[in-house]
Amino acid sequence: MAAQPKLARRITQVQPSATLAVSAKAKAMAAEGIDVVGFGAGEPDFRTPEFIVEAGTKAMTGGDTQYNAKRAGELTKAIVAKLQRENGLAYQPAQVLVSNGAKHSCYNICQVVIDEGDEAIIPAPYWVSYLEMVRLAGGTPVVIETSEETGFKITPAQLEKAITPKTKLFFFNSPSNPTGAMYTPEEVRAIAAVVEKHNLITLSDEIYEHLVYGEAKHLSLASCSKKLLEELVITVNGVSKTFAMTGWRIGYVAGPLPLVKAMAKLQDHATSAPASFSQAGAAEALGNQQASVPAVEAMRKEFDARRKHMVERLNKLKGVTCLAPQGAFYCFPNVSGVFGRTLGGKTIQSAMDFTDVALEAAKVAVVPGEAFGSPKHVRLSYASSMASIDKGLDRLEKLLNG
Ligand SMILES: Cc1ncc(COP(=O)(O)O)c(C=O)c1O
């Protein structure tokens, strides 16, 4: 047998991505010819709007294929203008760094802020990667628990209590993956007051800001005060979710200059700039509002209709309750009412068991809440057609209500 390579400690401590694992299992079943309904996806099912594809194609055929994208300056300018126009945030171009997706942006932040032994505060349920990024930087995640009672949102008092002399970073994500929860503008201001009082470097992940529904209103954390904008908050955003551009890999940060400079130094040695033609597509997405506003609104409306439908159907399942998400494209139902029941030949004791039974007995792929620090819940994405939402929920209904 071949000798096993000895891996570095930093990677052996990291968990594989549960969302990617569920997608892989569902895909493997589909490849065997099994008709699986997938609710695992973390990406829009829409195609990138044509005007963006054209801009990317034109850049590629026009020779914009070198390290230094010809339109890099244009993309940065479009980001600065977008942050001013939509979020009321005034940044200089040097305060912006474009990376290979917002995931890369978050990773860069952790690497330049967190040292061995430092703590990072993460409200649960959290996006799976935050925790592992903190660990990869040698830090310790400090998780704040929430529940349906507070709409899966932390209170300022909880945040204040979690801060210690070792705290280096606080993760704030509204609208949230996986819960779809959104902090109201008043709640954002109350969190901002704690951030300011404790000089807390904060990563504000606003990647789902355009996918909001009903009365919900997004407010950028950095807009709450001059100090937050200039010294404390790193705003993270990207084009993946808003413009259905997940495969283009364009995310960005804007924040205090010393932090952004440090991230740029790291990125220069790790990945350099993202693909030149992807940058051209992103510049068009952010800069051409005449085309982008109606395209985004059409997708948002479709998500909204699916959201309402999925929540309604989930709440009719025996043992399942689901808060209406206000943003992003996920439902996060509580399935603890199913614990103790035997379904598909297996007694369900956890969200992980629920996920296994849903996949094996009903051929429906969901993501177990354990991955998000929430063992009573599962995540279902409604980034799939209405027909497939109905097909999957028919199957779950048969499994749970039948
Ligand atoms: C909360 C959150 N932040 C960031 C990202 C990363 O997006 P991307 O790297 O595609 O820009 C995701 C994607 O799933 C997400 O859910």
pLDDT digits (tens, 9 = 90+) for 332-357: 999 999 999 999 999 999 999 999 99
Cα 321 to Cα 33: distance, rounded to the nearest angstrom? 32
Co-location of 78 and 200 in the same domain: yes
Co-location of 79 and 137 in the same domain: yes
**Confidence band of 75 (pLDDT split at 50, 70, 90):** very high
User: How far away, in angstroms, is 390 Cα from ligand 1 center?
Assistant: 26
What Rg do the C-alpha atoms of the chain give, in angstroms?
21
**Confidence band of 69 (pLDDT split at 50, 70, 90):** confident
Cα 383 to Cα 330: distance, rounded to the nearest angstrom? 8
Query: Mean pLDDT, to the nearest integer, of 42-58?
Result: 95
Co-location of 89 and 226 in the same domain: yes
Cα 146 to Cα 392: distance, rounded to the nearest angstrom? 28
pLDDT digits (tens, 9 = 90+) for 263-283: 999 999 999 999 999 999 999
- Lining residues, ligand 1, CB within 6 Å: 42, 101-103, 127, 173, 177, 205, 207, 238, 240, 246, 251
Mutate to test the pocket of ligand 1, among 79, 100, 103 (most ligand atoms within 8 A of CB): 103
Instruction: Say which CATH number the domain at 331 has.
Output: 3.90.1150.10
State yes or no: pLDDT of 1 exceeds 80.
no
User: How far away, in angstroms, is 102 Cα from ligand 1 center?
Assistant: 5
Beta strand pairing call for 167-173 and 119-123 = parallel
**Number of CB atoms found within 10 A of residue 32's CB:** 8
User: How far away, in angstroms, is 339 Cα from ligand 1 center?
Assistant: 31
**Number of CB atoms found within 10 A of residue 183's CB:** 25
Co-location of 320 and 239 in the same domain: no
In 129-201, which ranges are E strands?
140-144, 167-173
Cα 251 to Cα 108: distance, rounded to the nearest angstrom? 11
User: How far away, in angstroms, is 244 Cα from ligand 1 center?
Assistant: 12
Which atom number of ligand 1 is nearest to the Cα of residue 42? 14
pLDDT digits (tens, 9 = 90+) for 359-390: 999 999 999 999 999 999 999 999 999 999 99
Q: Work out how many domains the chain is built from and give that number.
A: 2
Mutate to test the pocket of ligand 1, among 240, 245, 248 (most ligand atoms within 8 A of CB): 240
Co-location of 335 and 387 in the same domain: yes
pLDDT score for 25 = 83
Co-location of 150 and 21 in the same domain: no
Cα 381 to Cα 330: distance, rounded to the nearest angstrom? 4
Mapping DSSP to helix (H, G, I), strand (E, B) and coil, where does residue 214 land?
Answer: coil
Cα 251 to Cα 242: distance, rounded to the nearest angstrom? 11
pLDDT digits (tens, 9 = 90+) for 209-242: 999 999 999 999 999 999 999 999 999 999 999 9
Mutate to test the pocket of ligand 1, among 236, 241, 278 (most ligand atoms within 8 A of CB): 241
Strand partners, 343: 346
pLDDT score for 19 = 67
Co-location of 112 and 137 in the same domain: yes
Cα 212 to Cα 205: distance, rounded to the nearest angstrom? 15
Which atom number of ligand 1 is nearest to the Cα of residue 100? 9
Of the residues 239, 259, 291, the one at which a domain ends: 291
Q: Which domain holds residue 366?
A: 9-47+292-401
Cβ-count burial of 70 within 10 angstroms (0-12 exposed, 13-18 middle, 19+ buried)?
A: middle
Co-location of 271 and 378 in the same domain: no
DSSP H helices, 167-256, are 185-197, 226-227
Residue 53: inside a domain: no
**Confidence band of 9 (pLDDT split at 50, 70, 90):** confident
Residue 200: inside a domain: yes
State how far the alpha carbon of 217 is from the alpha carbons of 17, 188, 190, 296, in Å: 30, 11, 15, 16
User: How far away, in angstroms, is 204 Cα from ligand 1 center?
Assistant: 12
Global pTM? 0.96
Co-location of 76 and 20 in the same domain: no
Mutate to test the pocket of ligand 1, among 122, 207, 212 (most ligand atoms within 8 A of CB): 207
Query: Mean pLDDT, to the nearest integer, of 313-335?
Result: 97
Residue 135: inside a domain: yes
What is the H or E stretch that residue 54 is in?
Answer: helix 50-61
Yes or no: say if 126 and 275 are a contact pair by the CB < 8 Å rule. Answer: no
Instruction: Say which CATH number the domain at 127 has.
Output: 3.40.640.10
User: How far away, in angstroms, is 337 Cα from ligand 1 center?
Assistant: 30
Of the residues 232, 259, 291, the one at which a domain ends: 291
For the four alpha carbons of 173, 175, 181 and 183, in that order, the dihedral sign comes to positive
pLDDT digits (tens, 9 = 90+) for 82-114: 999 999 999 999 999 999 999 999 999 999 999
